[in-house]
Structure 1
Amino acid sequence: MTEPLFNWLNHRASGVLLHPTSLPGDYGIGTLNDHCIDFIDFLAHAGFKYWQICPLGPTGFGDSPYQSFSSFAGNPYLISLRELHAKDLLDKQILEDLSSLPQSFVDYGALYNTKWPVLDAVYEAFVNSGKKIRPYGSFTAFKKRHQKWLEPFAYFQTLKKHFDGKPWYQWPKEYLYFEKARKGPLRKELERDVDAQKFFQYLFYGQWGKIRDHAKLRNIQIIGDIPIFVALDSADVWQNQQFFQLNPETGEPIAVAGCPPDYFSKDGQLWGNPLYDWSALKADGYTWWIDRLKAIFEMHDVVRIDHFLGFDSYWKIPYGSKTARKGKWINGPGIDFFKAVKKKIKNCKLIAEDLGKLTDSVRKLRIDTGLPGMSILQFAFGGEGNNYYLPHNLNSNTVLYPGTHDNDTSLGWYNTVDEKTQDRVRRYFEVSGDNIGWDLIRASYKSVANLAIIPMQDLMSLGSEARFNTPGEAQGNWQWRYQAEQLKSLKGGTSDYLRTLAQLYYREGAPAVNADKD
């Protein structure tokens, strides 16, 4: 039997799923501040070894971290303003003005109107001071190091604002292509704003670097997330149109991504992302994809690839379609892509999000790559005992979740499913169902899956009011935040119990015994 390309999940451990926007704080959104440090300390004390997050990129309309303006940039909303005040770059009165933003959820509209002017004022203060920000390092050196993606991204963001927020393919023709646009008269005219966008990235990377250092100190590895597809209206596509299936005259897609009709959706799902020109990417040695992965591995220890199925085959929908009904399956790059990645990236720790309808070819691709797949306990109780997600059907090379960012909390899920499903859950785990959230947590720890990831909401025994995202609903997502008191209440008895579970079920990061290689 041929050895798999990757075989990194050879130990048992547990982790917590929490996006940084959900951290507590005074200024409208979770940021990279002391609350983030406090959360990492909690993870370490409770015996966790991993912290999983959603993509960190800058978001646009809809606020989804899975529809970002860049695969390489960070979200400036996550920048800690309190830290900038401590560095004399921000007046205390401005912080007090921002304290009117809600603390219990993220109001993205209010945040957009308030935080950007504050960050702009910080840039002015920095330029006027002429000082280096310790410990972020040299701004000049940062710009030089990240020039390949930073210049296109900063110019993209500035042009987008200049053209009243329109997507790049609706800009004047002379600005439809990055290489041509950078030679246009607006580049010099907008120099100050372009530099400010670069400065925001400098702040983000500087603060994220401090968080990464603290996580390493506490022996916590961070699991990042990378969508297989990128947003059409992004610096990624604007700069690299040759690698996407686009109309060369207009920049609009020829076809878009989605998935066909199924049991859950009679019209399928129309995502609207542009499709890759995999032949062009292959001819270039998959350089853009490898650069993308290298960049995210600089910021994380492990990376989950969202929609792994698309590397095997993808649903191609003609551009302009109203639903995803009309389309056809097209072969993806398959194992060839992962062989190229293996050659270029050492110690490449990927997780395959292989949820959904798994064909034999998808299963083979995951086995050949050796990447751990995913299993969701909330999906395990439909059908019979052969359900793929039931714990007795799992293998060790798996990341098991009670639910993910797209699911309801365990408590919310159990309270809304039908009585037949509830009965199956109770009988399977031999529990009363009175404390179902912790029943699923214990089941995750007990399972053969080498890695168990628990949503923060489940640790706090929260219901549907704490759901982070509901797929298919355009409003009200990505807003949930916890309060500092809620984390404090987990310290002591709960964190001690979690550490005991980690010890009891051998989830302390040590090599697994007789780990299979599926």
Structure 2
Amino acid sequence: MKITFRIEYRTAWGEEIGVSINGNETKLIPLSTRDGIIWEGKTEYEVEEKDKILSYRYGVYRNHRCIRLERGNMQHIIPTIVSKKNISIQVDDSWRDLPINSFLYSSAFSRHYLLPIEHSFNYSTAGNIIFRALCPTLRHRNQKLGISGNGEVFGNWNPEKPIEMFEIKQNEWIAVIDASQLNYPLEYKFVAIDEKTNKVVEWENHNNRIINQCDVHPTRIYTTPEAEVFFNAKLPKVAGTTIPIFSLKSEGSFGVGDFGDLKKMIDWAVLTHQHAIQILPINDTTITNTWTDSYPYNSISIYAFHPMYIDLRQVEKLKDEKLQSEYDTKQQELNALPQVDYEAVNEAKRSYLKLLFKQEGKRKLSTNSFKEFYQKNAHWLQPYAAFSFLRDKYGTPKFSEWPEYTIYKKEDIDNLCDTKSKSYNEISFYYYVQYLLHIQLLNASDYAREKGVILKGDIPIGISRNSVEAWIEPYYFNMNGQAGAPPDAFSANGQNWGFPTYNWDVMEKDNYQWWQKRFRKMAEYFTAYRIDHILGFFRIWEIPTHSVHGLLGQFVPSLPMSTSEIESYGLPFQKEFMTKPFINDKIIKEKFGEKSEYVVRHFLRHEHHDIYSMQPKFDTQRKVEAYFANKSDEESLTIKEGLYSLISDVLFVPDRKDKNLYHPRIAVQNDYVYKQLSWKEKEAFNNLYNDYYYKRHNRFWYEQAMKKLPTLTQSTFMLCCGEDLGMVPDCVPWVMNELEILSLEIQRMPKNPAHEFGHVWEYPYRSVCTISTHDMSTLRGWWEENYNQTSHFYKHIMGHWDETPKIASGWVCEEIIKRHLECPSILCILSFQDWLSMDEDIRNKDVEAERINIPAIPRHYWRYRMHLSIEELIKCDKINEKIRNIIDENERN
């Protein structure tokens, strides 16, 4: 098959254009130019009989290195020629980045069908023209794309005689026309055709397209550039629910939500005309086998699912009837609890699965279905199973403490996992569990697609430092730092997640394959996903390992300041005073009161006059933490927190790599050292601080994000949503707009600093709006937190001037929910608790019991459960009808 590629692209001196076919970057087709504008090149491509289409992409190269690639996961496509005749194709193209409204091409909005490629094209000896077009969401409206125009071939503009196009890939359409039948100049439009009547129902919103002449002869096919086609139909808007899977509850649950319950939740979504379900991370977090493992963002594997999500109703019963009866009783006991008993649930499910594996495992692992699963997933499944086995064997996930296998060597693990190994039976148990989880989640995922429901997953920003990935791929991580977040509305001291940070320099060398494989695996189950803390792809808040709080962190990567640069702002640099904790008698008295003498005697060292320093054995927060490890009385906790704050009372933090460069300490304006500055020094410091945190890094962080996010977000067809909360630099919306990533909009966390509350009517269409997240109090909980704040909201946002209700009554919640559904956001995904807040009869009477997480508590117990079962919920006609009606009224369907 002979192909001539031609594209108009204005290059700079030294740049060249090349084409890669079917993703093969090693066999690049070089194009040449005479004028630096029109580039052309030829190739012969051997087509196999099974090939239906050929995809290709243009790139700009300098010194044989790609410096710019066409953006997006939709490459140019042409149908292959199934013909023995010597026919060539002339392809005219234009450079293509993301299509307009590219998110509509995602699997979230192509979810109603899976299109097989059925059309092969046997070209006649006469020349043909291939028309190509991109047009999303037609199938949602039971329509297909066509062409109407002048001349008999195009039906002479007759709406009953359009040319039907074929959807050769989802949302990508072609038509093959015999060029000998065309009259020039050719005028035409793309049209939407009703699938049943085959009549035109809408004409594209575009001037007539014109082809004046086409150089086609009997052995050449001419291919037009892809056209983006737009109609006047309303863009889709969707409503949905967010809830952790562990919080789901049905009559057959085993004390915790599972993948079977997810299917039931999809049924409720369909009943109430919702088209999206959003969940929290579902990866395995088994580290200590205690309730502290309930934190879903601290996974030990980016691939493996948590065993507690297995629906035991979908697996075989135990043949031992007495044992089965005992587990049935245990199921009823655990399912009656108002919250998840994490330890009891996991102990019961684990023991049941081990008995079942002993009974059924050998047979299950011999099936073709399992063998296929293992073959596709062995690259992560085997290391995960080996890690889990060794964690249990040695009683710790800290592989650095294992007596053997501390350093991962594939050959050694292959031997450990060999079918003839003594350990194989225990290791293969983990294969078995992950296989069951895969089958059950895939079943729920397919069910969501069939029902037209977007299933939205969650990709955590971090991994556990005691994880499979840290063990087998340590070169991808910086283990000497802790990821977290600077102070925000969630936590005054910042958040310390404890995760290692990423070594982006190493990841860049293989084009971020670690992330791409992670995203592609997720795409097997989900049609949309949330990038947890998307700011981490611009820069991450890295906290030194000796810190407990997040105040002594610094952004990585970042541009630290020299002493001369600090002084250029009018602030004389005093290293001792500005970089060491400032502690004097007054501070000690204010902070510790009657315990001041005790604190001075046990933890501080007198330097001179009324100035003190920390004793060396207490000069880091981790040392203080270790000292108070077994003390839980209120006095000890107060002293511990006071010492933490003394240690972080510095004006500048030395750079992690170069100790002669510095970062202004985050939120230091609230601390004592700042108060020692003169008004002139404070003014200089504030100017420095604002430049550093809000201006200095914008272009730098933009470039950092654009190295990573285009590759990652375009590695699958999932709909990409970013959690862009916290200390958001100006460059974040630049990147998210350029890549068409959906933002997150929360009214109580306005993006506009001039507003006390967000204006829902100003939200961008390309966004996800919600009222509360898992890190926040619910709508009802927030209403009761601060009466003055609630009164401002009630009067200035809701427009009521009577006395503000002390609690959020049903009608108050309904009014707030309606306004969110009315907003422009493409997705309005509300928490399950907030949906039910509209009905005072069925909502949980205990507002506090609805809280999922409190970020200020580092070891929070994640155990929230629905207070009624899904079966009961489906029978609640009043609230279901209310949800259905307000969704329909706002055309979110």
TM-score (norm. length: structure 2): 0.52
Alpha-carbon distance in structure 2 between the residues aligned to 1:88 and 1:142: 27
Comparing 4-13 and 421-430, the one that deviates more = 4-13
Q: After the TM superposition, which residues 185-200 of structure 1 pair with which residues of structure 2 at under 5 Å, given as runs?
A: 188-200=421-433
Q: 1:118 and 2:352 equivalent?
A: yes
Give the equivalent residue in structure 1 for 2:255. 28
The aligned length equals 494
The aligned amino acid for 2:884 is: R
Q: 1:151 and 2:382 equivalent?
A: yes
Q: 1:291 and 2:291 equivalent?
A: no
| Contact map agreement 2:486 2:727 (CA 8 A) in 1 | no
Please list the CA deviations of residues 180-222 of structure 1 after superposition, one character each: whole Å capped at 9, or x if unmatched: 6516668733211110001000111111122112212211110
SS of residue matched to 1:506: coil
Higher fraction of strand: 2
The aligned amino acid for 1:74 is: F
Give the equivalent residue in structure 1 for 2:709. 338
Match of 1:389 among 747, 758, 777: 758
| CA spacing shift, 1:265–1:344, aligned 2, 3 Å | closer
| Contact map agreement 1:32 1:208 (CA 8 A) in 2 | yes
Gaps of 5+ in 2: 1-95, 105-234, 287-291, 558-700, 838-843
| Contact map agreement 1:49 1:221 (CA 8 A) in 2 | yes
Alpha-carbon distance in structure 2 between the residues aligned to 1:372 and 1:442: 21
- Cα RMSD after superposing both structures: 2.7
Q: After the TM superposition, which residues 106-505 of structure 1 pair with which residues of structure 2 at under 5 Å, given as runs?
A: 106-127=340-361, 129=363, 138-172=369-403, 174-179=405-410, 181-182=412-413, 188-245=421-478, 253-261=479-487, 265-331=491-557, 333-341=704-712, 344-345=715-716, 347-380=717-750, 386-387=755-756, 389-430=758-799, 434-435=809-810, 436-461=812-837, 462=844, 463-473=847-857, 474-484=859-869, 487-488=872-873, 491-505=876-890
| Contact map agreement 1:42 1:491 (CA 8 A) in 2 | no
Higher fraction of helix: 1
**Structure 1 residue 15 displacement after superposition:** 0.6
**Structure 1 residue 325 displacement after superposition:** 2.4
SS of residue matched to 1:275: strand
**Structure 1 residue 278 displacement after superposition:** 0.4
Alpha-carbon distance in structure 2 between the residues aligned to 1:383 and 1:285: 35
Comparing 417-426 and 48-57, the one that deviates more = 417-426
Q: 1:51 and 2:277 equivalent?
A: yes
SS of residue matched to 2:548: coil
| Contact map agreement 1:438 1:458 (CA 8 A) in 2 | no
Alpha-carbon distance in structure 2 between the residues aligned to 1:422 and 1:148: 56
| Contact map agreement 1:17 1:453 (CA 8 A) in 2 | yes
Alpha-carbon distance in structure 2 between the residues aligned to 1:406 and 1:264: 8
| CA spacing shift, 1:386–1:423, aligned 2, 3 Å | closer
**Structure 1 residue 338 displacement after superposition:** 2.1
**Structure 1 residue 169 displacement after superposition:** 2.7
Alpha-carbon distance in structure 1 between the residues aligned to 2:870 and 2:509: 54
RCO comparison, higher one (Cα < 8 Å, 6+): 1
Gaps of 5+ in 1: 246-252, 509-518
**Structure 1 residue 262 displacement after superposition:** 5.2
**Structure 1 residue 87 displacement after superposition:** 9.2
| CA spacing shift, 1:339–1:89, aligned 2, 3 Å | farther
Please list the CA deviations of residues 354-386 of structure 1 after superposition, one character each: whole Å capped at 9, or x if unmatched: 011211122222222210100113335x99763
| Contact map agreement 2:248 2:258 (CA 8 A) in 1 | yes
Q: 1:78 and 2:309 equivalent?
A: yes
| CA spacing shift, 1:356–1:85, aligned 2, 3 Å | same
SS of residue matched to 2:258: coil
Alpha-carbon distance in structure 2 between the residues aligned to 1:441 and 1:405: 17
TM-score (norm. length: structure 1): 0.88
Alpha-carbon distance in structure 2 between the residues aligned to 1:280 and 1:143: 28
Alpha-carbon distance in structure 1 between the residues aligned to 2:494 and 2:282: 28
| CA spacing shift, 1:176–1:425, aligned 2, 3 Å | farther
Alpha-carbon distance in structure 2 between the residues aligned to 1:343 and 1:225: 17
| CA spacing shift, 1:410–1:68, aligned 2, 3 Å | same
**Structure 1 residue 52 displacement after superposition:** 0.3
| CA spacing shift, 1:132–1:29, aligned 2, 3 Å | farther
SS of residue matched to 1:273: strand
| CA spacing shift, 1:86–1:437, aligned 2, 3 Å | farther
| CA spacing shift, 1:450–1:425, aligned 2, 3 Å | farther
| CA spacing shift, 1:228–1:197, aligned 2, 3 Å | same
Comparing 14-23 and 315-324, the one that deviates more = 315-324
Q: 1:15 and 2:240 equivalent?
A: yes
SS of residue matched to 1:416: coil
| Contact map agreement 1:178 1:238 (CA 8 A) in 2 | no
Give the equivalent residue in structure 2 for 1:249. none
Give the equivalent residue in structure 2 for 1:515. none
**Structure 1 residue 11 displacement after superposition:** 2.4
SS of residue matched to 1:329: strand
| CA spacing shift, 1:286–1:374, aligned 2, 3 Å | same
Comparing 313-322 and 200-209, the one that deviates more = 313-322
**Structure 1 residue 291 displacement after superposition:** 0.1
